[in-house]
Structure 1
Amino acid sequence: MLSEREKQFMQYWEANRDRENRWQQQLLAGIPMGLLFSLPVLAIIFTGKLWYQRADMAMNAMASPYVLIVAVFVITVFVSIFYKRHQWDMKEQQYRQLKAREELEAKEGDA
């Protein structure tokens, strides 16, 4: 027998699974997690001036700030979409397991 919470999840997921599978929705919803991964890169680079001046000189000689901005943007987008895609897969797996359990219980109830 499915619990009330499981039934509520199944109703929610049936109504929203297609909306949450779009990459635009995944990007917008996952941006906080993407920033959580990419902003420490900036923090390390900008505080590197304080604790290791030689590495800072080497970084300034090799990389432009535009490359750094693009890299942080790419990291943010990748992590945000990947994170939400993984969450979607986990919810879809849970939904399918509950659906299979519901169908099995219906068959056992008929027999």
Structure 2
Amino acid sequence: MLTDKEKMFLDYWAKNRDRQKKLLYQLGVGLPLGLVLGAVIMANFFSGWYKRADMIANSQFNPVVLYIAVLLIAVFFAVFSKKFQWDQQEQRYKELLHKQKINQDKQNEEKQDHEVHEKN
């Protein structure tokens, strides 16, 4: 038997699974967290905690490359994390559907057995 929470999840995911699978939705929801990760990378780079790397970077560094790399990392992180979450939710949804089907099959068998016993 499914719990109320599982039934609520089945209803929610049946309505929202297609919307959450779209790339634009995944970018819109996941990009803020990806940009936070990018900001941490930029802060680490500009903090200058490693003096030798800082001297080399200042002499041979093109900041556009860093900005593009951070943006690509943020987008990748956003899409990858949301796709991973979607896959987890989809797996849970399929498992609950299977559990629900098994429960319904058992109930149908019990009902048929009960009807057979009543006839005899």
Provide TM-score, normalisation by structure 1. Answer: 0.93
Q: Distance in 2 between matches of 1:62 and 1:104?
A: 64
The ranges of structure 1 where at least 4 consecutive aligned residues each deviate by more than 4 angstroms after the TM superposition are none
**Structure 2 gap segments, 5+ residues each:** 110-120
Query: What residue identity is the alignment partner of 2:82?
Result: K
**Structure 1 gap segments, 5+ residues each:** none
Q: Number of residues paired by the alignment?
A: 109
Q: Distance in 2 between matches of 1:57 and 1:38?
A: 22
SS at the partner of 1:81? helix
Query: What residue identity is the alignment partner of 2:80?
Result: F
Structure 1 stretch displaced more, 101-110 or 38-47: 38-47
Query: What residue identity is the alignment partner of 2:20?
Result: E
Query: What residue identity is the alignment partner of 1:105?
Result: N
Q: Does 1:108 align with 2:103?
A: no
Shift of 1:63: 2.6
Instruction: Assess if the C-alpha contact under 8 Å between 1:26 and 1:85 holds in 2.
Output: yes
Query: What residue identity is the alignment partner of 2:6?
Result: E
Query: What residue identity is the alignment partner of 2:38?
Result: S
1:88 aligns with 86
Query: What residue identity is the alignment partner of 2:14?
Result: E
Query: What residue identity is the alignment partner of 1:2?
Result: L
Over the aligned positions, Cα root-mean-square deviation in angstroms equals: 1.1
Query: What residue identity is the alignment partner of 2:74?
Result: T
Alignment of 1:48-67 (within 5 A): 48=48, 51-67=49-65
Shift of 1:37: 2.2
Shift of 1:59: 1.2
2:66 aligns with 68
Instruction: Assess if the C-alpha contact under 8 Å between 1:33 and 1:83 holds in 2.
Output: no
Q: Distance in 2 between matches of 1:22 and 1:88?
A: 10
Q: Percent identity?
A: 40
Give deviations 1:51-96, integer Å, cap 9, x for gaps. Answer: 3332112112333010010001000000000000000000000000
Is the radius of gyration larger for structure 1 or structure 2?
A: 2
Shift of 1:40: 1.4
Provide TM-score, normalisation by structure 2. Answer: 0.86
